[in-house]
Amino acid sequence: MLKAGDRAPDFSNPDADMNIAELSQFRGRTLVLYFYVRDDTPGCTTEALEFSELEGEFAKLGATVLGVSRDDCIRHGEFRDKHGIGVRLLADKDQTTSEAYGVLQDKEVDGAMRKSMVRSTFVIDKQGIIRHALYGVSSRGHAAEVLQLVKELK
């Protein structure tokens, strides 16, 4: 698992419009990278909407918010459009980014072990260093908690 002080792993993932987002594009800005389980589920929808509602506040602080799940670009676009989500959603179909950030855990489902996403958020500073690594977070109210952490960055 990653921790505060670690260099953020590079990533390169397409968003809902199939535009590539890479860590290097956000150098000089604070980046909030949140991982969620699946598009259009109750908790994930709540989390995405709360981050979207606060997107302007994050922007005022020089921060960008990106959501990441294993859903594909098309599903992200449908999810975004259905709920009016403003934050960019990145597709991690091959799970490379999820693996790099340590947000997948083995979980038994119907008698078989499967990789399951752990709802997690990383606050990455302007130099690409993780300032906060939050694993196993709750969806409701999480965006406001993260906004407070971004406000406290020096």
pTM value is 0.94
3 part of a folded domain: no
Which residue in the block uniquely carries the two structure tokens 């993932």?
13
CATH number at residue 111: 3.40.30.10
37 part of a folded domain: yes
Tally of CA atoms within 13 A in the half-sphere of 152 that contains its CB: 9
4 part of a folded domain: no
Is 73 assigned a catalytic role?
A: no
Expressed as residue numbers, the domain containing 34 is 12-151
Q: Is the pLDDT higher at 109 or at 53?
A: 53
Please pick, among 16, 23, 31, 44, the residue that the annotation labels catalytic.
44
28 part of a folded domain: yes
Share of the chain above pLDDT 90, in %: 91
Read off the pLDDT of residues 55-98 as tens digits, 9 standing for 90 and up.
Answer: 999 999 999 999 999 999 999 999 999 999 999 999 999 999 99
